[in-house]
Amino acid sequence: MPSTGYIFLAVGVALAITFLLRALPFILKNAIKDSPLLLALNSWMPLGIMVILVVYCLSMIDPADSRLAGAQVIATLVTVAVHLWKHNLFLSVLAGTGTCVALANGLLPALL
Amino acid sequence: MPLSLLRAVRETGMVWLSMFVLGIGLGVMVTSSGLPWWVAPLLSGGVYAGSVEFLLVGLLVASAPLSAIAMTTLLVNSRHLFYGLSFPLHRVRGMSKLYSVFALTDEAYALAAPRDPRRLSHGWILWTQLGLQLSWMSGSLSGAIVGATLLQNVKGLDFILTALFIALAMDAYRHRPDRVTLVSAAVFGIIAALLAGDSMLVLAMSAFTAFMLLRHQWNKRRTQPVEQPDA
């Protein structure tokens, strides 16, 4: 097991890098304020980054564990459907995760 | 109770709750991998950057060199380079800006960036960020202490992260229905996942950003009238 000193040092390194990454655009932004480029990126980046994070999560599905993978695919469809229906973030997350946990642990009759 | 806190709870409280539940997942992972319980609040309170914390648990257990920890954090969190461009930090006053930058997570960005900055107050932004972090920290602490015994064998809990990003992406699309962004981000994501696997985030986000820069250049050329010297 790692030593306490090592854990604190490692967390410190991760903290410093994360903070710098978060602070950098604000420092650079003053140099490029009101640029048309910034306005364009403003309107495109939020959707693009969320879509890439979704692809990232879905690409982590491991087909070797077929019951878990099947549960994740069905839960993805459930999440999309519930979100289209109610537009309620928490409800969608709850329905999706609930479906995934229930199917992956065999709490629902085996559909897979 | 300040009005801005009430508004923050009403508009973002559901995400606080998701952060709490997701935090339980992190806490369970920390203690079930053999690390001491206090590593959970240390990661969730100190690093405070969702996905990299899950990766750090594995790296800490393996006593990975600090250079590997630095590189992993840099690559996975480099997406944060883009968040500052459209986060309404100008609405936060004084030294609180430092906390606001520290706590600029995926969720804080997704909740604040799509809203009209003129309608966001100093208090709303800070309460939202503090609520997200306290939920995440208390979730991870509960997970580390209680969940290690109760939830250790429950599979599929990490789908919370997937469901959260799906719903946030759908909200972002509803806010700005832009098919070029949707399709190009998905295509770059899929290509990067095929090429780079686990470390696809950096590749996909750089490629997508480069494409958006090109798109901006192209739009600019198209909308600017071409000079016609003979006309």
List, as one string, the DSSP characters of B146-210.
Answer: IIHHHTTT--STTHHHHHHHHHHHHHHHHHS--HHHHHHHHHHHHHHHHHHGGGHHHHHHHHHHH
**B157, A99 in Cβ contact below 8 A?**
no
Mean pLDDT of chain B: 85
Give the residue extent of every domain in chain B.
3-153
- pLDDT value of residue A31: 65
Q: Is the pLDDT of residue B229 over 80?
A: no
A89 and B182: CB-CB below 8 Å?
no
Q: What is the ipTM of this complex?
A: 0.81
Q: Is A70 on the interface with B (CB under 8 A)?
A: no
Q: What is the pLDDT of residues B153-186, one digit of tens each?
A: 778 877 877 888 899 899 889 988 999 999 999 9
> Quick one: closest CA in B to A34, which residue?
B85
Interface of A with B in 78-97 (CB under 8 A): 79-80, 83-84, 87-90, 92-93, 95-97
d(CA B66, CA B77): 16
Which residues are CB-contacts of B51 (< 8 A; sequence separation ≥ 6)?
Answer: B76, B161, B201
Residue B17 or B214, more confident? B214
Q: Which residues of A touch B165 (CB under 8 A)?
A: 50, 53-54, 57
Of the CA atoms within 13 Å of residue A46, those in its CB half-sphere come to: 29
Which residues are CB-contacts of B30 (< 8 A; sequence separation ≥ 6)?
Answer: B37, B39, B40, B43, B57, B140, B143, B144
Q: How many CB atoms neighbour CB A102 within 10 A?
A: 15
Q: Is the pLDDT of residue B27 over 70?
A: yes
Q: Is A77 on the interface with B (CB under 8 A)?
A: no
* Lowest mean pLDDT, pick from A31-40, B24-33, B177-186: A31-40
d(CA B144, CA B23): 9
Q: What is the dihedral of CA A78, A81, A84, A85, to 10 degrees?
A: -100
Q: Is A15 on the interface with B (CB under 8 A)?
A: yes
Residue of B140, B158, B165 best to disrupt the A interface, most CBs of A under 10 A: B165
pLDDT bin (cut points 50, 70, 90) of residue A6 is very high
Measure in Å the smallest separation between the Cα of B95 and chain A Cα atoms: 14
**B52, A18 in Cβ contact below 8 A?**
yes
* Lowest mean pLDDT, pick from A37-41, B48-52, B60-64, B110-114: A37-41
Which residues are CB-contacts of B24 (< 8 A; sequence separation ≥ 6)?
Answer: B139, B140, B142, B143, B147, B151, B157
Inter-CA distances, B129 with B53, B92, B134, Å: 18, 12, 9
Question: What SS3 class is residue A88?
Answer: coil
Inter-CA distances, A51 with A56, A99, B116, Å: 9, 22, 22
pLDDT bin (cut points 50, 70, 90) of residue B226 is low
> Quick one: closest CA in A to B153, which residue?
A105
Tokens of B5: 């806190």
- pLDDT value of residue B1: 65
Measure in Å the smallest separation between the Cα of B174 and chain A Cα atoms: 10
Q: What is the dihedral of CA A71, A76, A82, A87, to 10 degrees?
A: 150
Residue A71 or B50, more confident? A71
Residue A77 or B204, more confident? A77
Interface of B with A in 6-45 (CB under 8 A): 14-15, 17-18, 21, 34-35, 39, 42-43
Q: What is the pLDDT of residues B63-107, one digit of tens each?
A: 888 987 887 788 778 778 778 878 888 888 889 999 999 999 988
Interface of B with A in 133-172 (CB under 8 A): 154-157, 159-172
Q: What is the pLDDT of residues B115-144, one digit of tens each?
A: 888 888 888 899 999 999 999 999 999 999
Interface of A with B in 39-58 (CB under 8 A): 40-58
Which residues are CB-contacts of A50 (< 8 A; sequence separation ≥ 6)?
Answer: B110, B165, B168, B169, B172
- Nearest CB to A50: which of B78, B80, B110? B110
- pLDDT value of residue B12: 85
Q: Is the pLDDT of residue A86 over 60?
A: yes
